[in-house]
A and B are shown apart, each in its own frame.
Chain A
Amino acid sequence: AQSVSQHNHHVILSEAASLELGCNYSYGGTVNLFWYVQYPGQHLQLLLKYFSGDPLVKGIKGFEAEFIKSKFSFNLRKPSVQWSDTAEYFCAVTFDTGTASKLTFGTGTRLQVTL
């Protein structure tokens, strides 16, 4: 079955540390890939997305992600985290790349950045 997995459930980092959050999916076909962030008490915001082209995608707030097709992965990275990056991060995938396909979410990773 098509699924999305995020292996890091809770990550604690000090400010200025580098971040990498894993996201893997199970599907042999074409996918669209997304990372969303949910700050405490706020709604989901899009960090970045990949549809096609350059597999290294740059998003907002200094985040980037790399699509590695052979590994079915779309890991999120940030070279230096800030305390304000404390939030829940969700990877999401559409397995049918037709217009307005439904999003399937991973279980989320809670990032806690300490001062």
Chain B
Amino acid sequence: SAVISQKPSRDICQRGTSLTIQCQVDSQVTMMFWYRQQPGQSLTLIATANQGSEATYESGFVIDKFPISRPNLTFSTLTVSNMSPEDSSIYLCSVYFQGDYTFGSGTRLTVV
């Protein structure tokens, strides 16, 4: 399966600021996914990112709040913009590779 490196692993941010999370994969993958896991809850898909095209956002998530870049087949970033305490969550990237979905170790974001 693919190996994902996600950075940063955690951060504490001031409200109103933005944080960019990076996801690097050791294999070329078509689709990358970004999830949010709020405290004590399940994973919710934010968006699906294809290389070379606009990300597809799920209901309740918008590009202005969560802009995504996908410059090549091994890398993607998710930015959490204009943060509020409600954005405190774990953010995970995921890829589909050779029949398996692999997840990054996550970014634990705390907004104060």
A interface residues with partner B (beta carbon < 8 Å): 34, 36, 42-44, 46, 49, 51, 90, 92, 99-100, 102-108
User: A100 and B42 in contact (CB under 8 A), knowing A43-B92, A43-B106?
Assistant: no
B103 at the interface (CB under 8 A from A): yes
Contact B105 A100 (CB under 8 A): no
Contact A44 B30 (CB under 8 A): no
User: A106 and B96 in contact (CB under 8 A), knowing A43-B104, A99-B30, A100-B30?
Assistant: no
Contact A102 B48 (CB under 8 A): yes
Contact A44 B33 (CB under 8 A): no
Q: Cα distance A34–B99 when bound, in Å?
A: 11
Contact A105 B33 (CB under 8 A): no
Contact A100 B45 (CB under 8 A): no
Pick the contact of B103: A44, A49, A99, A104 (CB < 8 A): A44
Contact A105 B42 (CB under 8 A): yes
Contacts of A108 in B (CB 8 A): 41-42
Interface residues of chain B: helix, strand, loop or mixed (majority):
strand
Query: In this complex, what residue of B is CB-closest to A43?
Result: B105
Contact B43 A105 (CB under 8 A): yes
Top 6 A-B pairs ranked by shortest CB distance? Answer: A100-B31, A100-B96, A44-B103, A43-B105, A105-B43, A105-B42
Contact B33 A103 (CB under 8 A): yes
Nearest CB in chain A: distance from B21 CB, A: 14
B101 at the interface (CB under 8 A from A): yes
Q: Cα distance A46–B100 when bound, in Å?
A: 9
Nearest CB in chain A: distance from B53 CB, A: 14
Query: In this complex, what residue of B is CB-closest to A106?
Result: B42
Nearest CB in chain A: distance from B52 CB, A: 15
Query: In this complex, what residue of B is CB-closest to A6?
Result: B42
Pick the contact of A103: B41, B45, B99 (CB < 8 A): B45
Nearest CB in chain B: distance from A75 CB, A: 17
Contact B45 A99 (CB under 8 A): no
B88 at the interface (CB under 8 A from A): no
Contacts of B42 in A (CB 8 A): 90, 105-108
Contacts of B106 in A (CB 8 A): 43
Contacts of B99 in A (CB 8 A): 51
